[in-house]
Amino acid sequence: MGSGEALNEHVLGDAWPSVGQRLAMLEEAVDLIRLLHRGEQISHHGEFYEVQEARISTLPERPVPIHVSGFGPQATALAGRIGDGCCTVQPDAELVRTFRENGGGDDPEAHLERVRSYLDAGVDEVDVQQVGADHEGFFRAWGEQILPKLR
C-alpha cells in the first residue's frame, strides 16, 4: 500500500493533497483494514473515512500482511510504525535503517512492550503469530528474548 501517485490519481480532477495528508490517510486506511480483519462489525468516523457497520464476511485464515511503500523518509517511517513490511525499488540503506528504527524488522523490545501492554490491562492470555516465512526463527527468538522477560 502507498500514499498514491499524482501520475495515477490526477485523472479524478481533485486537488492533490500534501504528502503529510496522504500519509495520514494511508495510516487511517491501514487501521481500518486491521480492524476489519478482526472479524467484527465496525463503524468508524475518522478524519478521512466514514464506515458504517462494515464487516469482512469471509476472513482469510490470518490477517493479510500489509506492506507499505517507502520511497522517502516520511513514508518509510510510517511503514515501520504501521506496516508488516516495507516496499521499495531502491537499495537505500538509509531507508532500511529508517524502517527498522520506526518499528519495522525484528525488535524484541517492541514485541515485549506490546505484550506487556496487554498483560498490564488485565488480559489473561496473549496469542502471538508469525505471518512471515521463518516460523522457527520467530518462535526461537520469542523463547530466548521475550518469554524470559515476561516471567
Q: What is the C-alpha to C-alpha distance for residues 36 and 59, in angstroms, rounded to an integer?
A: 9
Residue indicated by cell numbers 473515512:
49
Residues 6+ apart with CB under 8 A from 90: 71
- Whether the model clears a pTM of 0.75, i.e. scores above it, the answer is no
Q: With CA atoms as reference, report the closest residue to 82 among 67, 97, 64, 60.
A: 67
In whole angstroms, give the CA distance from residue 56 to residue 151: 37
Task: Please give the pLDDT value at position 52.
Answer: 97
Q: Mean pLDDT, consecutive 10-residue segments, the chain of 151 residues?
A: 78 84 95 93 96 94 87 88 84 81 76 83 77 76 88 77
Q: What are the phi and psi torsion angles at 89 (to 5°)? A: -120, 15
